[in-house]
Chains A and B, each alone.
Chain A
Amino acid sequence: MQRQTLVEFSVKHPRLVLVIAAALTAAALALFPGMKADTNPKNMLPPDSAVRVWNAEVDGTFGLYEDMLVVGVVNEAGVVNPGTLARIARITEAAARIKGVARSDVAGFTTITNVTASAGTLRVAPLMGRPPETPEELEAFRKDLFGNPLYAGRVISRDGKTTAIYIPLEKGANGKAVADELRGIVRAEGGPEEYYVAGDPVARDTFGSIMFKLMAKFSPIAGAIMFVAVLVMFRSLVLACSMMAVAMISVVWSMGLLIGLGYPVHIMSSMAPVFLMAIATDSIHIFNEFSFRRKEAPDRRTAIIETMHAVARPVKFTALATAAGFGVLVFMSIIPVKVFGVTIAFGTVALRLLSFSFIPAVLMLTRDKKAGPEADAPGRGPGAFLRSLSAIGALRPRATVAAVIVLMAVSAIGVTRIVVNNNMVEWFKKDSDVRRSDAAINSALGGTSLAYIVASSDKEEYMKTPEAMRYIEGLQRRLETLEAVGKTNSVVDYVKRINLVLHDNDPHFDAVPGSKEEIGQYLFLFGMSAKPSDLDNVIDPSFTKANVWVQLKTWDVRAMREVMKTTEVYMAANPGAIVLKPAGTAYFNLVWNDEVLWDMLKGFIIALVAVFVILTFNFRSIGWAALGYAPLLFTILLIYGAVGYAGKDFDMPISVLSCLSLGMAVDFSIHYIARFKERLASMEGGGDVVAALLWTAERPGRGIARNAILFGAAFSVMLFAPLTPYVTVGAFIVAMMTLSALFTMVLLPALIVLFGKRLVKGNIRLS
């Protein structure tokens, strides 16, 4: 009854309501300048999460950098020529001077350490001190480059056409900004070479930055589409304006609250406006009903009160279901997800509040008498079409249910084919710069995705022993058998190299030396002459820990999982004094993906339960709740079945969506069942179920259809986004809205006819 009073108040003082809404909106807008943006997807996990703490510890132990860019240089005629080499030297030097680059650890031809021996002289020096010019110098360089197995796959491809410069970033540097500068540097060089800039930070920071821009672009476009759609449906500028106003007000309030509470706008919450705008389309049910009532009621005021009375319950409960679907995100462990959930839940509640105050107020102030379309001629127009949809289910209930059961069985098979995987680079489209660069470098070199396997022992100086060295070497060979692993690197490679070189390149000595003294002296000799980071990166000062670099040719989380499994199997098969643990960016991505994914799955299950509980409350009947649940469940099953058949990975964006979709996909059946029951109860002399169903399909069903079209239209913009997760979101929501509307209109009547007898109290007829 409280809501009703709110409606009455709003009808009585429409101007006051608008002024209050405007004032609150202005207040929320005033908070906007304090907005902080956080475009880094990494921050989905807080800096004190176990994986980030461990990675930071590993970075500290081995003097590593969290992030690394890779510049690929390709010359189809081979990179060993004076022009290309000179350009590489200049690019490496310029790259080292970019702000945010860890300049002493940039690795390319001019900086990577080479160990060689000739005429009894040992040389530890950068591979290319000065770009070679004469044919003799070029020949000598070629010999050095291809003569050292450490370089194959790392800085030179086997065909000699591709080289890479590895550019580590200092903490807090923006990968996209550095990548942009690098692109500028290589562009200025010109020449016949092709250049590619890749690496996790490029993908991550580019994604974050594009995401924000997209949201700024899509929200208004989605709004405009909705505006035009409402205008076409109701031919009323006032209705279209008030619908948009409600959506905008709720967006401003929610974002204002988020900003006001001091949370940064994260990539996740940047999606909130589009979601809220779509959820706002639920007010269409009010306009829809009003367009009928206005013609039936004696005056505007009565029409409004009656409309609100008719739709109050379903509108309230759909809002509740939506709010609950998002609200459960509060129980997630990932903070940006929580913030996002609360923002949307708050916005949804705000929307409903506006539905009962702002909308009646606007309707009251509308002078235009004709706030709705003309009624359709009987048997024609959309009403008749909707009626025929429900007629399928109502008149052939068994056949309808059987068809749906077959469809669901097929979908269930599809669901079993779903592969859980995530690949951030594949969030970009195939022809995007990010994706092309990554593919080019990965096909020629060891890989742009970097993981570490940290070997540790509690025995002092154990890593200097031949058995530790052989253990690590064995692990490397094992890992290299994996298809995704392009290159591994460790302290063992340096030791073997020095052993070989000190023995005049006698291949017999291309092996781990036999004594700890030899190894210790080789390492010392290497440490005396090489860059300090060369050794630091692969072994710690106390020689209790060693670090194996594993380059992966793909950003697939699956690939890293394989590396970890192989490592565990190796450890189990070779028990010893060494414990192996994964680390690095590829490992972070795996944990990040798993945490978000499982968190979302958990949220999905909680939301399923929450929505069911709300339905039960709404209908005060478990049976009705189960019926109302059916369209939702089948919609989701069908979509996942399609995902399985399409071979699309079940990745992070999809897992986020499944959770979010629940609260929205159930809306239609709430409206349908509520209005159906009302209609049935109001029919004199006991209701005729089929007649009531057909009425429901024609009248509130029209609201459902309008809602689905609006919602779908708003999200369809995303199908044109340059990032695949957005395309996924768009396709998912459009499919969800269409399917749940269809299931509601066709399946629900069939179920009601079959099971309704048991649920509807009193005298009913089936005609």
Chain B
Amino acid sequence: MKKYLFICLSALLVAASARAAAPEEIMRSSQAAFLYQGKDFKARVVMRLTGKTGAERIRELTMLRKNSGAPGGDQKYFIYFYKPADVKDMTFMVYKYPKKDDDRWLFIPALNMVRRIAAQDKASSFVGSDFTYEDVSGRDIDDDAHVLVKEERLGSSDCYVVKSAPKEGGMDYAYKLSWIDKGNYLPLKEEYYDGRSGLYKVFSADEIKTISGIPTVTRRAMKNLSSGHKTEAEFTRVEYNTGIEDSLFSERFLKQPPKKRIE
């Protein structure tokens, strides 16, 4: 009888802890901590794209983000390019909607022309890098089935390891494993698996700094193991809550972005 009680109790305990760490909630918290911090966000980003031969391409840009509502909701992005040199002054704007296709606009300085760009796959490459649009702005949590696989230590952090499998086909990967820091909910590592060759892409958060009280991933990398291609991104001059106005995200400012916002 005693033994029976013990089993019942431990079963209850397990159930309770599992609910506390419901994988959807972990991922939702992680997305909020990683991609929705602050009301708005600004950073200078340097991306190094390296091919398998070692040849390097540089992208340098200023990225501005403004959230419309709660984490997981709509966002607006404004990107100004410094490098490569011949695309200086090019600007790129994205209205991101988690539940439908994004709206995107591009300003082409050589033609002094703003063009709307039809949104494609959110899993397509972000400015030619190994990061996808989803890696930059997030994927709808409800699009995947999440399972808490295990909890383990990664470096000096205790992590949840969550397996997320897209509910619909058509994605490059069959599932993704994320190591989420239990303390700050930042993703420290992600592994992408496909059905044929197994692990083929790895994300890593290589440097985390606390800026204005917000833990921020300031260096990250995405390595494609099958193509040998990788992209490293470094975020500097990170600022939160500088009061970016809604009017910035307009065709007018795409053509002539205010200096203080893009520096």
Contacts and interface: CB of A to CB of B under 8 A. Distances in A.
Interface of A: 60-61, 63, 97, 99, 103-104, 117, 120-125, 461, 464, 502, 513, 515-521, 524-525, 527-529, 531-532, 535-536, 540-542
B11 interface: no
Contacts of B108: 502, 521, 525
B116 A520 contact: no
Contacts of B111: 502, 518, 521
A124 B120 CA distance: 8
A464 B229 contact: no
B99 interface: no
A540 B55 contact: yes
Nearest to B56: A541
B110 A527 contact: no
A123 B119 CA distance: 8
Given A121-B117, A124-B118, 15 more contacts: A97-B196, A103-B196, A104-B227, A121-B116, A123-B117, A125-B121, A502-B111, A515-B110, A517-B109, A520-B110, A521-B86, A525-B108, A528-B92, A540-B55, A541-B55
Interface stretch (B23-31, B65-73, B122-130, B183-191): B122-130
Contacts of B128: 524, 527-528, 532, 535
Nearest to A528: B127
Contacts of A528: 92, 106, 125, 127-128
Contacts of B115: 117, 120-122, 502
Contacts of B226: 104
A518 to B, nearest CB: 4
A36 B52 CA distance: 32
7 contacts: A63-B227, A461-B86, A520-B84, A524-B87, A528-B125, A528-B127, A541-B51
A97 B174 CA distance: 13
Nearest to B195: A97
Interface in B74-101: 81, 84-87, 90, 92
Nearest to A57: B53
Given A502-B108, A527-B128, A125 B116 contact: no
B90 A60 contact: no
A60 B53 CA distance: 6
Given A97-B196, A122-B117, A525-B106, A464 B127 contact: no
Interface in B180-206: 195-196
A524 B51 contact: no
B113 interface: yes
Nearest to B194: A103
Contacts of B116: 120-122
A60 B52 contact: yes
Contact of B87 (A60, A124, A521, A536): A521
Interface string B152-194: 0000000000000000000000000000000000000000000
Nearest to B108: A521
Nearest to B226: A104
A520 B85 CA distance: 9
A97 B169 CA distance: 14
Determine chain A's interface SS by DSSP, over half rule.
helix
B2 to A, nearest CB: 56
Contacts of B127: 527-528
Contact of B86 (A97, A121, A502, A520): A520
B133 to A, nearest CB: 11
B113 A516 contact: no
Nearest to B59: A524
A122 B57 CA distance: 25
B116 to A, nearest CB: 4
B113 A125 contact: no
Interface centre among A125, A519, A527 (most CB of B within 10 A): A527
Contact of A125 (B84, B87, B109, B118): B118
A733 B170 CA distance: 58
Given A517-B109, A529-B120, A99 B196 contact: yes
A61 B53 contact: yes
A561 to B, nearest CB: 30
A607 to B, nearest CB: 44
B125 A532 contact: yes
Contact of B84 (A104, A117, A524, A532): A524
B96 to A, nearest CB: 16
B200 to A, nearest CB: 10
A403 B121 CA distance: 80
Contacts of B86: 461, 464, 516-517, 519-521, 524
A501 B85 CA distance: 24
A540 B53 CA distance: 10
A525 B125 CA distance: 12
Contacts of A520: 84-87, 110
A542 B120 CA distance: 27
A521 B109 CA distance: 8
Contacts of B52: 60, 63
Contacts of A519: 86
B90 A541 contact: no
B111 to A, nearest CB: 6
A542 B49 CA distance: 12
10 closest Cβ contacts across the A-B interface?
Answer: A520-B86, A123-B118, A518-B110, A527-B128, A541-B55, A121-B116, A517-B110, A524-B87, A125-B120, A541-B57
B51 A529 contact: no
Nearest to B172: A104
B59 to A, nearest CB: 9
Contacts of A63: 51-52, 227
Contacts of B229: 532
A542 B229 CA distance: 16
A121 B116 CA distance: 5
B80 to A, nearest CB: 13
Contacts of B118: 121-125
Nearest to B90: A521
Contacts of B124: 529
A528 B115 CA distance: 14
A154 to B, nearest CB: 21
A125 B122 CA distance: 12
Contacts of A529: 117, 120, 124
Interface in B120-156: 120-121, 124-125, 127-128
A619 B135 CA distance: 85
Interface centre among A97, A519, A521, A529 (most CB of B within 10 A): A521
